[in-house]
Amino acid sequence: MPEIILKKDCDRRIRIGHQWIFSNEIAEFKGISSDGEIVDIRDSRGGFVGRGYINRHSLISVRMLTCREKTVDRGFFLKRIKEAVDRRERLLPGLEAVRLVHSEGDFLPGLVVDRYADAISIQTLTLGMELWKDTICDIIEELLGPRIIVERNDTAIRKLERLEEQKGIIRGTGETKVTVEENGNRFFVDVLEGQKTGFFLDQRENRERLREYVRGKRVLDCFCYSGGWSIYAAQGGASEVIGVDASQGAIEIAAENAGINGHSAVCSFKKADVFDLLRGMEKKGERFDVIVLDPPAFVKSKKELADAVRGYHEINMTAMKLLTDGGVLVTSSCSHHVERELFTDIMVKASRDAGKTARLLEFRSQGRDHPVLLPMKETEYLKCAFLEVARRG
């Protein structure tokens, strides 16, 4: 078995459950013939630490698959994927739209599998997983019998692994647009052309909580994409919902989703840059009872963090100014580089600069189908805060 030898004490983080080994933690490579292959990980004294796959061209050189001396073969992937699927059926039974495999959270780093009714969307984000893609598709067909499997490998993360971006139907035939039900709402999902893998599954449980805060309220849904938060707000009894997104295609899907749920009279959608729109609304003296901010990741690497913090600060500060006294701000960040402490600090400074006081009603994370590993803080990427915003006394 090819192997790597870690530098002294670099096994400590791995032994408590972290799954990434960085290039500067490796002292020696032994017998490695090609990137993507399975290797043993050994500590500086030669003791067995685990087994994973390697890519010497990536900053994350090895990703752990197991801490035991197991053979990594079709049977290994079948067992892991089945365990992940069974866990969803146990925790979230009967969902039509659900993440079935969540990368490191299911001990399959680099693999994402989402189900939308009879369609499956997969991502193989690393070279090690890309080499097992056909086997993984075979297993998915065996376990789930989907009508169609689509790969959504059109993400820049793959460039870090020296992989090309690509997307398309890889198994089955037919329409890539499906309709799914979620908590009594119906949504159109395009698994081939939609954002991420088709829908923002990670906010499901947070959208459900929104319903408690919106009855009879005027709601602004920023970065609304296909209208997820907007539809839940209308379902919760909001008097008016305005959704905003920079994508014309997203706005059109959002309007369709409002229509099929019977909320066209309550929901309206407009194409606009959210930053510009919020500034304009502030100048006009617009006011809302509830504002949702669910932006895309402003930061994808640590070097972009300072710019991202400024962006989060501006939109949250301006949103707070637009809220009625005692209004509710639901604000999110989906980047693991923005940790909870930093995100909270941004909210503190945004409320200060808006001349407001913010009380935390709820602090939430991603849905249970996006599991978080306690030893690996990178797996908790989504922060979602429900804030009550009032005039400063």
pLDDT digits (tens, 9 = 90+) for 258-283: 999 999 999 999 999 999 999 999 99
**What confidence category does residue 303 fall into, taking pLDDT thresholds of 50, 70 and 90?**
confident
Between CA 380 and CA 377 the distance in angstroms is 6
Between CA 54 and CA 110 the distance in angstroms is 12
Which pairing describes strands 38-42 and 48-54: parallel, antiparallel, or unpaired? antiparallel
Answer with the residue of higher pLDDT: 34 or 196.
34
**What is the pLDDT, as a whole number, of residue 297?**
83
pLDDT digits (tens, 9 = 90+) for 19-29: 999 999 999 99
Catalytic residue status for 222: no
Type of residue at 229 = W
pLDDT digits (tens, 9 = 90+) for 353-380: 999 999 999 999 999 999 999 999 999 9
Core vs surface per residue 68-82: b (16+ CB within 10 A) or e: eeeebeeebbbebbe
Q: Please, is 194 exposed, middle or buried when counting C-beta atoms within 10 Å of its C-beta (0-12, 13-18, 19+)?
A: buried
Between CA 155 and CA 122 the distance in angstroms is 12
**What confidence category does residue 285 fall into, taking pLDDT thresholds of 50, 70 and 90?**
very high
Between CA 190 and CA 377 the distance in angstroms is 31
Residue 301 has pLDDT above 80, yes or no: no
**What is the pLDDT, as a whole number, of residue 304?**
82
**What is the pLDDT, as a whole number, of residue 127?**
98
Type of residue at 352 = R
Instruction: Give percent of the chain with pLDDT exceeding 70.
Output: 100
How many Cβ atoms from other residues are within 10 Å of residue 184's Cβ?
11
Between CA 386 and CA 363 the distance in angstroms is 6
**What is the pLDDT, as a whole number, of residue 181?**
96
Residue 81 has pLDDT above 90, yes or no: yes
- Dihedral (CA of 44, 46, 52, 57) sign: positive
For the record, the structure tokens of 44 come out as 């500086």
Between CA 259 and CA 250 the distance in angstroms is 14
Alpha helices in 36-120 (DSSP H): 74-91
**What is the pLDDT, as a whole number, of residue 274?**
96
Helix-, strand-, coil-residue percentages of the chain, each rounded to 5:
35, 30, 35
Alpha helices in the chain (DSSP H): 12-15, 74-91, 127-130, 133-144, 204-210, 228-235, 248-260, 274-284, 305-322, 340-354
Please answer whether residues 292 and 210 qualify as being in contact, where contact means their C-beta atoms are separated by less than 8 angstroms. yes
Strand segments, DSSP code E, in 125-271 are 148-153, 166-172, 177-182, 185-190, 218-222, 240-245, 267-271
**What are the φ and ψ backbone dihedral angles of 320, each rounded to 5 degrees?**
-60, -35
Among residues 299, 380, 295, the alpha carbon closest in space to that of 330 is found at 295
Adjacent-strand bridge partners of 113: 101, 122
Q: For 337, which DSSP code?
A: T
Among residues 19, 370, 91, 330, the alpha carbon closest in space to that of 204 is found at 370
pLDDT digits (tens, 9 = 90+) for 189-236: 999 998 889 899 999 999 999 999 999 999 999 999 999 999 999 999
**What is the pLDDT, as a whole number, of residue 69?**
96
Residue 166 has pLDDT above 80, yes or no: yes
**What is the pLDDT, as a whole number, of residue 336?**
86
Among residues 223, 322, 329, 220, the alpha carbon closest in space to that of 272 is found at 223
Report the interhelical angle of 305-322 vs 340-354 (nearest 10°): 40
**What is the pLDDT, as a whole number, of residue 385?**
98
- Which of 137, 222, 267, 334 is an active site residue? 334
Adjacent-strand bridge partners of 220: 242, 291
Among residues 341, 254, 247, 334, the alpha carbon closest in space to that of 294 is found at 334
Mean pLDDT, the chain, whole residue set:
96
Between CA 166 and CA 151 the distance in angstroms is 8
How long a stretch of residues is the chain?
Answer: 393
pLDDT digits (tens, 9 = 90+) for 89-112: 999 999 999 999 999 999 999 999
